[in-house]
Amino acid sequence: MSAADNTTAPPSQASRRLVFNILRYNPNDPASVPHMQAFTVEEADSMTLFIALNDIREHQDPSLQFDFVCRAGICGSCAMMVNGRPRLACRTLTRDLPAEITLAPLPFFELIGDLSVNTGKWMRAMSERLETWLHAKESEIDLCRIEARMDPDVAEQIYEMDRCVECGCCVAACGTAQMRKDFVGAVGLGKIARFRLDTRDARTDDDYYELIGDDTGVFGCMSLLACHDVCPKSLPLQTQIAFLRRKMAAQGLQGLPVVGRRLTSSTC
């Protein structure tokens, strides 16, 4: 190897000039009308959309609204439409995108302004409606008792579903959610799947059927799985929603008179 080989620097990626087309609108300002605004930013190494948007806000337009808290894909607050696809802005590298990038707020959720939406309000309402908390079998907590044992495989499946950061990407990508505002979305179905797995939860399939056994729940889902494709935490939504649907369908059949049960099962 020659001395020249030793001193050769790794080839650096030529810096690009990125053009951001951002949907601007402030619903609280009667004078505001929705429009696209273009900003140009010099791309830097390992630049994320979070860095680029901060650069725009710091150097070009301090009025630009967007949300960030953790910058690490944990809080779920930075989800937005990136070239038509829901993504977490803090986990999206500009080098994985073309030089022209279109940003818009997530559809479906209440718009606060520009790229900022109120996912928390919807998530809270969904959570209250589906009672997404553990319904313990014992009415009183005994702090001296040894903690409940759980099969490691079940614990692993629950842990997988608990990684949801409530970013709203699955709801923004969901065809059913765009058509009906009362649909609980993959995030809601995922939470029911999580508590159904939990052996400490006292609820039965009858109880879960009451919550999601209609078109606002598991039977509204069209199974096209956009939610599974866009989930930034790669939750096993496909498997869990399919499993939940089978269980809830079986539960629904139990409620039919025997003749109806025969007809339905022979036409499935």
SS3 breakdown of the chain: % helix, strand, coil, rounded to 5? 40, 15, 45
| Interacting span for ligand FES (CB under 6 A) from 28-36, 70-78, 105-113, 114-122 | 70-78
- Nearer Cβ to ligand FES (85/203): 85
| CA-to-CA separations, 176 to 40, 97, 140, 186, 268, in angstroms, rounded | 36, 28, 40, 10, 22
Interface pick for ligand FES out of 18, 20, 39, 76 (rule CB under 6 A): 76
- Nearer Cβ to ligand SF4 (64/227): 227
Structure tokens at 261: 């049960």
CB of 167 to ligand FES, least distance (A): 7
* Among ligand FES, ligand SF4, none, residue 175 binds (CB under 5-8 Å by kind): ligand SF4
Cβ atoms of residues 239 and 176 within 8 Å: no
Burial (Cβ within 10 Å: 0-12, 13-18, ≥19) of residue 52: buried
Per-residue burial over 170-185, b = 16 or more CB atoms within 10 Å of its CB, e = otherwise: bbbbbebbeeeeebbb
Q: Is 74 in the site for ligand FES (CB under 6 A)?
A: yes
CB of 49 to ligand FES, least distance (A): 9
Interface pick for ligand FES out of 41, 88, 171, 241 (rule CB under 6 A): 88
Instruction: Kindly provide the residue ranges of all beta strands, DSSP E only, lying in 55-169, ordered along the sequence.
Output: 79-82, 85-88, 100-104, 110-113, 116-118
CB of 182 to ligand SF4, least distance (A): 13
Q: Which residues pair with 42 in a beta bridge?
A: 17
Q: Which residue in the block uniquely carries the two structure tokens 């990125």? A: 18
CB of 211 to ligand SF4, least distance (A): 15
CB of 70 to ligand FES, least distance (A): 4
Q: Is 78 in the site for ligand FES (CB under 6 A)?
A: yes
**What is the x/- site pattern for ligand FES, positions 36-55, by CB under 6 A?**
--------------------
Residues interacting with ligand SF4, by CB under 6 A? 164-170, 173-176, 185-187, 190, 221-227, 231, 233, 235
